[in-house]
């Protein structure tokens, strides 16, 4: 198997607002565009495994096969489609909803009562008999929480041309996922204005 080193690209991409709260948002943003073309942080099973481990969704000792990686990629694209449908205020394609619901059902959660120092609370834990299915189920549950929760109204696609990332808007005027995208748009406007004179 070839060595995969996504660290340079991964580290140069600034995280966008909301990824720290919603891992499903981070998943959708694993495919993005740079000046030299499209980048996919999940382009093979090893890279997908690394991403899932980094986000505490899969134990490091568990490997992913090509079929499981394919399911992760299908879920990612379905989530992107669901986000786009939400942003456009339209009903999403049935197959995208079916993919999310299938992932939710792949490792159904079992309720447990846990009792930490702060007091008792309910915890829903996915069936861990199939760790890859549990990871997909957690991602689907996270996306469901995002799309149906109080943060849903903040879900926005970056308005910078060529950027394909999604983020949670912290205020109504914010249009770009990062200051890098905002600076790029402003620089392009300034260049166009100078050229037009």
162 has a pLDDT exceeding 90: no
Distances (CA, A) of 101 to 44, 95, 104, 167: 24, 10, 5, 23
Q: What is the pLDDT of residue 192?
A: 64
The confidence band for 5, taking pLDDT boundaries of 50, 70 and 90, is very low
Domain count, the chain: 1
Residue 52 is assigned to a structural domain of this protein: yes
Residue 67 is assigned to a structural domain of this protein: yes
The confidence band for 190, taking pLDDT boundaries of 50, 70 and 90, is low
Tens of pLDDT along 130-144?
A: 999 999 999 999 999
165 has a pLDDT exceeding 70: yes
Residue 176 is assigned to a structural domain of this protein: no
Residue 85 is assigned to a structural domain of this protein: yes
Residue 182 is assigned to a structural domain of this protein: no
Residue 50, domain extent: 7-155
Provide the token pair at 88.
């456009």
DSSP string, 11-46: HHSPPPTTTTT-HHHHHHTTEEEETTEEEETTSSHH
Distances (CA, A) of 170 to 28, 128, 177, 186: 19, 35, 10, 20
Tens of pLDDT along 42-99?
A: 999 999 999 999 999 999 999 999 999 999 999 999 999 999 999 999 999 999 999 9
CATH number at residue 61: 1.10.3300
Which residue's entry shows tokens 């050229």? 195
Tens of pLDDT along 177-189?
A: 887 887 766 766 6
Residue 98 is assigned to a structural domain of this protein: yes
Residue 78 is assigned to a structural domain of this protein: yes
Tens of pLDDT along 8-45?
A: 444 456 788 999 999 999 999 999 887 778 899 999 99
Residue 172 is assigned to a structural domain of this protein: no
103 has a pLDDT exceeding 60: yes
Give the predicted TM-score (pTM) of the model. Answer: 0.83
Share the mean pLDDT of the chain: 87
């Amino acid at each position: 198997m070839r060595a995969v080193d996504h660290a340079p690209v991964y580290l140069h991409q600034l995280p966008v607002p909301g990824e720290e709260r919603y891992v499903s948002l981070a998943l959708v943003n694993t495919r993005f565009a740079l000046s030299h073309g499209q980048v996919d942080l999940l382009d093979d099973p090893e890279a997908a495994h690394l991403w899932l481990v980094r986000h505490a969704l899969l134990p490091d000792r568990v490997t992913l096969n090509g079929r499981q990686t394919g399911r992760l990629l299908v879920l990612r694209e379905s989530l992107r489609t669901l986000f786009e449908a939400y942003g456009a205020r339209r009903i999403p394609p049935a197959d995208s909803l079916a993919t999310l619901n299938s992932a939710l059902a792949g490792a159904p959660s079992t309720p447990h009562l846990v009792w930490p120092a702060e007091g008792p609370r309910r915890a829903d834990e996915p069936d861990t008999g199939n760790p890859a299915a549990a990871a997909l189920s957690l991602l689907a549950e996270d996306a469901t929480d995002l799309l149906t929760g109080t943060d849903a109204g903040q879900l926005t696609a970056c308005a910078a041309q060529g950027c394909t990332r999604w983020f949670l808007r912290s205020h109504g005027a914010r249009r770009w996922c990062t200051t890098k995208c905002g600076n790029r748009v402003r620089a392009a406007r300034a260049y166009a204005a100078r050229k037009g004179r």
